[in-house]
Amino acid sequence: MLCQDRPWVVCFSSACLLVIIWSFRLFDVRDAFSILVYDESRKQHEEGVFLHQAMDVEFPAPIDYRPIREVCARAQFRPGLLFTCEEQHGGIGMVRNQILKCVRYAIHGGGAIVVPSMALRNASDITDIETATEVPLDYMFDRQAFITRLSEGCPEMRIYDRVEDFPSYEQRVEEPLALVGDQFEPDHPREGLRHPGQWRRSFDEWLAKQSVKVRPDAPVHVRLEQSFLEYPVRVDGDAFAREFGKVLSFRDDTRELAAKVLFKLKQRFAPSIDPTKAISPDAYYGCHLRLEKDAVDAWQPDEWRFSRMEDQFDEQFRNIERTGLSTIYVASGDQTVVDVFAERLAARLASGSSSEKRNVTVVTKHDLLQGPDRRQLDSLTFDQQALVDFLVLFRSSAFMGVAHSSFPWNIALRRHELSKYSQYGNEGSDLLRDEYSVIMGMEADYPHVDPFVYGLWP
């Protein structure tokens, strides 16, 4: 018998121990553990689903190939003609548009294309954008997505990895012919080419003048060089203008980091973020500060009002107050600018006349990403990091930027696709103002405003 010869206390304890051991066997620590594990894996699963959904939303709507196919079907492609688009330079706004423009001309010309490439910005001097170092499309974009989508949209167009892959390339007529997009209409107005529909005819006449004939056995190689915002993107119809830019998708790692930033924003500040929606209301404010060295160099503060920190900040502060949002996602290639911005905003709110003191938090991608994600972000270059900001700003509840940079225009124009307004400057006098975005100031606030509205594919 169990308790024979033992004091009852000992006996009772042993019995208790047995009960405990048995109950552990029955209910098992593993159960408790597996609840924890289950909870953890459920969280991981939820995060995975969120990231997956968020990464898929890069535009207001997924690509619709129809308008692209219609334009390509009219183009009359021909063998023996190859276009290349190299040395495209600038930030993402410009490079992306240059590449799209180059592809658009190649469609007009009815030729094949080599996957475009671009010039690498000098990391030790960010004002130096036109370097001799050429980097592949993958530097900023998803190469495979470009090939797949352009082939889907433009099945007639051949796409090559390298010029040498083009049939009979070694028998080409001569050295590549250089051409810029507005060469046939050098005096076009600010709004762009008057007759883009005649580009093909002018191009063929230009070839003929040089006694060049397009023949499959002796191919012609045309290098399209960089020109500035001269192609009127709406001329091919609104549907094409809306879809064409979607052949370029940002590189995967930047889309994943942006999705992670969005997840952190949701967890910590903005539960209303819906990963499947381009723009979630009442979530966070997207603030683009264009005050990096390259910007202040290019647009000098004595002439360009919004290159002055005070003036640019002031517009943002007033817009933040107008929208009432309390999480401010700030994007700038210069962390000092962000720090000064956060200090001044806090000071302004603390001394504010408004009776109710608002709790406003300024965050950046650097604050939100941790551990391996943060290290991955830090390993990216200036222009690659800007892709993460672009995507997070694109999805903000309210967005504001300046008018002299293509980056905020690209974001605001893409968001404008969701606006109920067809015009740009709707609810006030700013250059662009709709329910989602503001491009600050009026024409009179700038020495000049480049024709981004006409020449940028959203």
Ligand X SMILES: *[C@@H]1O[C@H](CO)[C@@H](O)[C@H](O)[C@H]1NC(C)=O
CB of 357 to ligand X, least distance (A): 6
Residue 239 or 360: the one with the smaller Cβ distance to ligand X is 360
Residue 124 or 422: the one with the smaller Cβ distance to ligand X is 124
3-state per-residue secondary structure call for the chain: CCCCCCCHHHHHHHHHHHHHHHHHHHHHHHHHHHHHHHHHHHHHHHHHHHHHHHHCCCCCCCCCCHHHHHHHHCCCCCCCEEEECCCECCCHHHHHHHHHHHHHHHHHHCCEEECCEEECCCCCCCCCCCCCCEEEHHHCECHHHHHHHHHHHCCCCCEECCHHHCCCHHHCCCCCEEEECCCCCCCCCCCCCCCHHHHHHHHHHHHHHCCCCCECCECEEEEEECCCCCCCHHHHCHHHHHHHHHHCCECHHHHHHHHHHHHHHHHHCCCCCCCCCCCCCCCCEEEECCCCHHHHHHCCCCCCHHHCHHHHHHHHHHHHHHHCCCEEEEECCCHHHHHHHHHHHHHHHHCCCCCCCCCCEEECHHHHCCHHHHHHHHCCCHHHHHHHHHHHHHCCCEEEECCCCHHHHHHHHHHHCCCCCCCCECCCCCCEECCCEEECCCHHHCCCCCCHHHHCCC
Residue 29 or 350: the one with the smaller Cβ distance to ligand X is 350
Residue at 314: amino acid letter: D
122 in contact with ligand X (CB under 6 A): yes
CB of 120 to ligand X, least distance (A): 8
Taking contact as CB under 6 A, which single stretch among the options 51-59, 117-125, 300-308, 442-450 is the one that binds ligand X? Answer: 117-125
Measured between alpha carbons, how far is 86 from 214 in angstroms, rounded to an integer? 22
Residue of 124, 353, 354, 355 interacting with ligand X (CB under 6 A): 124
Residue 125 or 427: the one with the smaller Cβ distance to ligand X is 125
CB of 326 to ligand X, least distance (A): 9
Residue 220 or 270: the one with the smaller Cβ distance to ligand X is 270
381 in contact with ligand X (CB under 6 A): no
Taking contact as CB under 6 A, which single stretch among the options 125-133, 182-190, 248-256, 308-316 is the one that binds ligand X? Answer: 125-133
125 in contact with ligand X (CB under 6 A): yes
Residue 125 or 343: the one with the smaller Cβ distance to ligand X is 125
Residue at 343: amino acid letter: E
Residue 125 or 134: the one with the smaller Cβ distance to ligand X is 125
What tokens were used for 132? 């001799």
Residue of 128, 138, 314, 435 interacting with ligand X (CB under 6 A): 128
CB of 452 to ligand X, least distance (A): 28
Residue 28 or 125: the one with the smaller Cβ distance to ligand X is 125
Per DSSP, what are the bridge partners of residue 182?
Answer: none
185 in contact with ligand X (CB under 6 A): no
426 in contact with ligand X (CB under 6 A): no
CB of 86 to ligand X, least distance (A): 17
359 in contact with ligand X (CB under 6 A): yes
3-state per-residue secondary structure call for 38-99: HHHHHHHHHHHHHHHHHHCCCCCCCCCCHHHHHHHHCCCCCCCEEEECCCECCCHHHHHHHH
Taking contact as CB under 6 A, which single stretch among the options 124-132, 246-254, 373-381, 404-412 is the one that binds ligand X? Answer: 124-132
Residue 127 or 210: the one with the smaller Cβ distance to ligand X is 127
Output the CA torsion sign for 431, 397, 338, 131: negative
64 in contact with ligand X (CB under 6 A): no
422 in contact with ligand X (CB under 6 A): no
CB of 338 to ligand X, least distance (A): 19
Measured between alpha carbons, how far is 329 from 374 in angstroms, rounded to an integer? 16
CB of 59 to ligand X, least distance (A): 33
351 in contact with ligand X (CB under 6 A): no
Residue 53 or 122: the one with the smaller Cβ distance to ligand X is 122
Taking contact as CB under 6 A, which single stretch among the options 5-13, 120-128, 224-232, 379-387 is the one that binds ligand X? Answer: 120-128
Q: How many residues bind ligand X (CB under 6 A)?
A: 6
CB of 267 to ligand X, least distance (A): 13
Residue 197 or 324: the one with the smaller Cβ distance to ligand X is 324
Residue of 53, 131, 148, 198 interacting with ligand X (CB under 6 A): 131
Residue 122 or 426: the one with the smaller Cβ distance to ligand X is 122
Measured between alpha carbons, how far is 98 from 92 in angstroms, rounded to an integer? 10
CB of 138 to ligand X, least distance (A): 20
What tokens were used for 66? 């129809």
CB of 297 to ligand X, least distance (A): 12
CB of 369 to ligand X, least distance (A): 19
- Separation of first and last alpha carbons in the chain: 86
CB of 122 to ligand X, least distance (A): 4
Positions that interact with ligand X (CB under 6 A): 122, 124-125, 128, 131, 359
